[in-house]
Amino acid sequence: MCRPGLVALMLAAAPLAAQQPQMMGHDQSMTDHMRQMEQMMAPMMRAMAFTPDHLLARKDSLNLTPQQVTRLTALRDASKGAHDAAAAEAKAHMDAVGQALNVAAPDTGTVKMHFQAAHTAMGKAMWAMLAAAAQARAVLTDEQRARVDRWASTMMEHSESH
């Protein structure tokens, strides 16, 4: 499955925005907005620790059985097409938003149409990842799930401290 690029970009931008000098409250507003987005996305980011790609990358430390590897590989492969198609659709619409805004007098109706279509497509891409993560979580044993939960908690704590 493809990396959650849009979410990662959004989450990566928050610490960078926080490091920028404040300019008349505008940067503070952007920083506050990015923190709100990070807080809203936190539960989903925790779930993303269970995507088949992440679990397969850690198959040795999780002591995955050959059957688990087979099931996780099938989940990854089955969700990849839906995710990639939705992500490509979202990118195309976001490119169209950029083009629509790059004129002297942008048509807000056109901007809105492409923005909403991009939003819907991003939702489809995220859903493909979340569904695969939920199904992958069920493939693990209780002990393996607890280990991934601990890793996710550690990563979340680390990102909050920066």
Q: Which H, E and C letters describe 34-45, residue by residue?
A: HHHHHHHHHHHH
**Predicted confidence band at 25 (pLDDT cuts at 50, 70, 90)?**
low
Residue among 43, 55, 60 nearest 138 (CA): 55
When pLDDT is averaged across residues 138-160 and rounded to a whole number, the result is 87
Residue among 77, 112, 80 nearest 96 (CA): 112
Domain that holds residue 96: 5-160
Q: Kindly report which listed range (9-13, 25-29, 134-138) carries the lowest average pLDDT score.
A: 9-13
pLDDT digits (tens, 9 = 90+) for 117-142: 999 999 999 999 999 999 999 999 99
The overall pTM is greater than 0.75: no
Number of independent structural domains in the chain: 1
